[in-house]
Amino acid sequence: MADVKAFGESVMSSLEKVIVGKRQSLELVVVGLLCQGHILIEDVPGVGKTMLARSLARSLDCVFNRIQFTPDMLPSDVTGVSIYNQQKNEFEFRPGPIIGQVILADEINRATPKTQAALLEVMEERQATVDGVTHPMPKPFIVLATQNPIEYEGTFPLPEAQLDRFLLRMRLGYPSISDEIRIMDDQKLLHPLTTVSPVVNGDEVLAMSEAVKQVYLSNAVKRYIVELCIRTRNSQDVYLGASPRGSLFLARAGQARAALYGRDHVLPDDIKALAVAVLAHRIIVSAAARLRDVSSDKIVQEIVLSTPVPGGSFEASAQDQ
């Protein structure tokens, strides 16, 4: 897994030229990239969500498209439209901005449910169907969607089916005092985004994604993952718990994190580190818990703390290989 570790370090080092002091958040982005999963960035304006997506696209030498969602946006504005060409006497497909490699879906919760639904097929099946014709997405393909957790006026909350399509949810948060001063210094003459150049390419991303699938996942860790998901379903503070897709995505993310640290096997610590990011947005907090100001993040944190961690060896034995 040395190749995956070197890959992750090069991508994170490139992103750190623009996103200062957020190593843990950047690690989650690389985990999502290695899993070929989509990422929901929920944070206040001005903390670098757009810059993160743009710098990721530059680092990967991938096609970057930005979609600024508004209430009047139609599904065809996202996926594309067929236009009749009078000279050729046939319909031509004009691809929408969703057909790219690194897609920034900015303020996704400002789009109407009908437009949000247009993303379901694209995110899950990596294809868009327009006028009965299916158009595959290029590879690699990753959606980084943003939403503002503070401003709710004029927004349409993402339905559970769409939230479940995101591999993980993350936040950048405000920088520390020293990091904010460094950001001011870095942008005094030139924006650091202009210094970002490709460190890997799309083919390497796909190769590393395949390599991550070979990371060993012991039966004990699999049971630990399923136990965490079951406890979200049985919690008194939860109206709807994590789906089986949640356990599958948590396992995949665990494999990616293990590979980033140079290991060929997943540890319970990998799962604990990723549980909130992968599971919290998949559960619906009950009305009684919301009245007590209990968040989904806190519920998952308490479940992780109260669930017994398996012991023993987590490496592949001779008979497993």
For residue 72, give its domain range: 1-210
pLDDT of residue 46: 82
Mean pLDDT of 42-64: 86
Residue 118: CATH number of its domain: 3.40.50.300
R_g of the chain, CA atoms, integer Å: 20
CATH of the domain at 261: 1.10.8.80
Residue 137 predicted with pLDDT over 80: yes
Q: Are residues 134 and 103 in the same domain?
A: yes
Q: How do residues 198-221 score in pLDDT, each as one tens digit?
A: 888 888 999 999 999 999 999 999
Predicted confidence (pLDDT) per residue in 82-110, tens digit: 888 888 788 888 888 888 889 998 888 88
Predicted TM-score (pTM) of this structure? 0.88
Report the 3 state secondary structure along 216-279.
ECCHHHHHHHHHHHHHHHHCCCEEECCCHHHHHHHHHHHHHHHHHCCCCECCHHHHHHHHHHHH
Is residue 182 domain-shared with residue 193, that is, in the same domain? yes
Mean pLDDT of the chain: 87
Residue 317 has pLDDT above 80, yes or no: no
Q: Per-residue confidence at 227, pLDDT binned at 50, 70, 90?
A: very high
Q: Does the pLDDT at position 133 exceed 90? A: no
307: left (phi over 0), alpha (psi -120 to 50) or beta: beta
Within this chain, do residues 130 and 222 fall inside the same structural domain, yes or no?
Answer: no
Query: pLDDT-based confidence at 318, cuts 50/70/90?
Result: very low
In this predicted structure, the answer to whether residue 281 has a pLDDT above a threshold of 50 is: yes
Q: Average of pLDDT values for 67-92?
A: 84
Alpha-carbon distances, residue 14 vs 65, 114, 182 (angstroms): 20, 37, 16
> Percentage of the chain surpassing pLDDT 90?
28
The pLDDT score that the predictor gives to residue 216 is: 92
Q: Per residue in 37-52, pLDDT tens?
A: 999 998 888 888 888 8
Is residue 315 in a domain? no
Please compute the mean of the pLDDT values over residues 227-231 and round it to a whole number. Answer: 93
Same domain, 153 and 5: yes
Residues 203 and 258 in one domain: no
Amino acid 321: pLDDT: 52
